[in-house]
Structure 1
């Protein structure tokens, strides 16, 4: 990456993690099969003041799904199964919603027709932060019991609609174990991690905690990081721990179309099959996003196809993505939740491509949020309001006594001179228009406000 691009990236990262109060973040950019840039910010352990480095190990959450998908595709290459095979041919689970079989491909692409059953949410919140629901599914086999009535929960026929289903990837891990004759974790280690030289990527608690650079997992409570724990026991849907340097080798495999450093793990056609869109996803960030096999595909990222996946287990977050046509990839890891790492990853990729990341819609929106946040006053200070961001939502709060209320504002259009937001109250749409030139002004309903602080 060019020096100017690196400076912009590092300023962006430091500003975002400071605002979100993330303990640390590590990032690596891959170009031409090598690490072109790597850096870490913050502390992997705040209590001991231990700095994070590009070698720091974090949980990668659902980025693990691409490893699981790759493992399944290796078995397909070996002729041990077909993507069209029904899941219940191999596992003792009833998966025939509306009388139609759920296939391996349906699980890989989250198109079984079964909405999320919430196993991962209950397990993670219960073990990490003591949630209201206790779901002690200590091993993958327990998920088969948990899914005993899953087909009754279906709302679409297999292949018709996308529903992100963590449980489906647990089943795929069990399938890999059954057909390979070894534990899922051992298969991935021997067939993917070792050949790629990913020597500091782990599933087991013993191996991870023996690594001297394991990041302490944190929960943010009222903006303050509290040491927590990683939900060990999660496997094929989100249980891998790794570092950005190891993940750079993994990215190089995809950029090399199945081969890296003279080692071929799968045929080029396998990578292309994984990148083929299967179903539109509900979160449309740049438009046209679809799910393939273990990966999300964005067809127009700065005019190029972007293949990517995010991950979160509350106490660790991750983003991995690559642009096949440009030979570029990025890995971003953190030891807390609080800011979408996809934004940092896409910002880095845009810079590496020589594009202006401010053209990305979420970056432009963030810049507007920064401009409009603050305290506003009406004529002669008669009414005061506060505009603030919480999560990804902008709120307008009337703070004058007797008028107190808090209203969410949703973006509609943004230009250099103005930003139009709206809300709905009592079924009626009300606009909130911010003037951004010189001083910031807000027109809302009957009022005109001027930003004072």
Structure 2
């Protein structure tokens, strides 16, 4: 049994210490070897107010691990001739419409996006307002919930079933994943881990306009089994395509709902998940016929990452975090010449005036709409000639819901500064997560 291997001694003490150190309510973990669960553990409280302990039977939210389920479902429908992975999806776009294959690999041209709504009532932000291509499909990687929601919509149209029903009947039941559920709330009868913010505040029910990429639920044990077994549902050619990951940095590529490691260390296929009150990780180690799942009920990913590191350090010698976590872009000094620029942020409510002045000391002054001007530090990156963030409110109804911060990512192109303006909320320690809303932006010299 793996729980008796050298290196996993003291795991119970380690997990208890990590929970206390990071203020995380609970964590559940599982390891599968071939088709058998060989290690399951849970620590802490699934519900703090009720003092209900977490157990291996406790169900957790999966957040973006759901993308792996949705990807398998799309591949199944393709194998059955219900949809074509290389046929343009319906709709009118600035460029050629993206294909399901491009959407599966986050190369469909849609921007990053999320919106979460807590409690009763409809989701106040319509994803359709952001269903706009910001780059030509197939040209670059951009992780997009919009793309995976499009896949969910396409799958429902092709199969005539709701996505949750199709996932249960065609993925979960054939694999024996008895805990799997899909929806804003868990539809089963198993105990569920309540979700908590970084500061320990309990979340209410969370709704979004993009369930297909993030509304799954399961135990850690079922996720560990899914990680190894899901590909067996597919035809060999489709299974191979699912793992044919297009590189998005020097260490990682993205296949169909899986990140695939490249270069040094053991080959790993993985997917993480994070949203309000959820931090999750699923990893397959093919050469050892092992898979690992770690699920926690906190927005803060520190506990998840520490437990993943402890398990993988034993199970996959040579493991490094860069094999499952995309490396953050390293900032570079701002090199744009000083000067003033004026233009607009394009929104569904119309264009909003934007004015910036690049200063001489790595600073930029930003004025948005009729609001005050603020001066903040600015940097560059491999993708952008200017990156800056400020506590400025984009004056749209969507951004006013719960996105009080503002960021710019601009590049110099044909005498303009073009790119994106983003309304978002920086973390959840002071409350619950907001939306992440990306808008096209263009500025010209003044």
| Alpha-carbon displacement from aligned partner over 1:58-101 (angstroms, at most 9, x marks no partner) | 1000000011111111111112222211012xxxx33x34x323
**What does residue 74 of structure 1 align with?**
76
2:222 equivalent among 246, 265, 275: 246
**What does residue 111 of structure 2 align with?**
115
**What does residue 204 of structure 2 align with?**
229
CA distance in 2, matches of 1:128, 1:220: 19
Contact 1:59–1:313 (CA under 8 A) maintained in structure 2? no
> When the two structures are aligned, how many residues end up with a matched partner?
320
CA 1:57–1:193: 2 relative to 1, 3 Å: same
Q: Are residues 1:215 and 2:193 paired?
A: yes
Contact 1:300–1:306 (CA under 8 A) maintained in structure 2? no
Q: Secondary structure at the match of 1:19?
A: helix
| Alpha-carbon displacement from aligned partner over 1:368-392 (angstroms, at most 9, x marks no partner) | xxxxxxxxxxxxxxxxxxxxxxxxx
**What does residue 99 of structure 2 align with?**
103
**What does residue 256 of structure 2 align with?**
293
Contact 2:197–2:300 (CA under 8 A) maintained in structure 1? no
CA distance in 2, matches of 1:59, 1:206: 9
Contact 1:41–1:52 (CA under 8 A) maintained in structure 2? yes
Instruction: Give ranges in structure 2 of 5+ residues lacking alignment.
Output: 324-446
Contact 2:67–2:212 (CA under 8 A) maintained in structure 1? yes
CA distance in 2, matches of 1:67, 1:274: 12
CA distance in 2, matches of 1:8, 1:271: 38
Instruction: Give ranges in structure 1 of 5+ residues lacking alignment.
Output: 260-264, 282-286, 363-453
Q: Secondary structure at the match of 1:238?
A: coil
Q: Are residues 1:310 and 2:310 paired?
A: no
| Alpha-carbon displacement from aligned partner over 1:269-301 (angstroms, at most 9, x marks no partner) | 3222111112415xxxxx511111111111246
Contact 2:224–2:282 (CA under 8 A) maintained in structure 1? no
CA distance in 2, matches of 1:360, 1:11: 22
CA distance in 2, matches of 1:273, 1:8: 40
CA distance in 1, matches of 2:298, 2:123: 22
1:167 equivalent among 146, 150, 164: 146
Q: Secondary structure at the match of 1:226?
A: coil
CA distance in 2, matches of 1:339, 1:313: 10
Q: Secondary structure at the match of 1:111?
A: coil
**What does residue 350 of structure 1 align with?**
313
CA distance in 2, matches of 1:317, 1:251: 17
| Alpha-carbon displacement from aligned partner over 1:376-430 (angstroms, at most 9, x marks no partner) | xxxxxxxxxxxxxxxxxxxxxxxxxxxxxxxxxxxxxxxxxxxxxxxxxxxxxxx
CA distance in 1, matches of 2:257, 2:16: 30
Q: TM-score, normalised by structure 2?
A: 0.66
Q: Secondary structure at the match of 1:190?
A: helix
CA 1:343–1:269: 2 relative to 1, 3 Å: farther
RMSD across aligned C-alpha pairs, in angstroms? Answer: 2.7
Contact 2:24–2:298 (CA under 8 A) maintained in structure 1? yes
CA 1:40–1:279: 2 relative to 1, 3 Å: same
CA distance in 1, matches of 2:9, 2:82: 49
Larger Rg: 1
**What does residue 59 of structure 2 align with?**
57
CA distance in 1, matches of 2:35, 2:273: 23
**What does residue 411 of structure 1 align with?**
none
Contact 1:28–1:39 (CA under 8 A) maintained in structure 2? yes
**What does residue 195 of structure 1 align with?**
174
Q: Secondary structure at the match of 1:227?
A: coil
Q: Are residues 1:36 and 2:15 paired?
A: no
CA 1:356–1:157: 2 relative to 1, 3 Å: closer
Contact 1:310–1:342 (CA under 8 A) maintained in structure 2? no
Q: Secondary structure at the match of 2:181?
A: coil
Shift of 1:173: 0.5
1:322 equivalent among 284, 292, 298: 284
CA 1:159–1:360: 2 relative to 1, 3 Å: closer
Shift of 1:314: 1.4
2:124 equivalent among 122, 125, 136: 136
User: In proportion to residue count, which structure has more helix?
Assistant: 1
CA distance in 2, matches of 1:297, 1:342: 18
CA 1:128–1:338: 2 relative to 1, 3 Å: farther
CA 1:13–1:186: 2 relative to 1, 3 Å: same
Q: TM-score, normalised by structure 1?
A: 0.65
Q: Are residues 1:186 and 2:165 paired?
A: yes
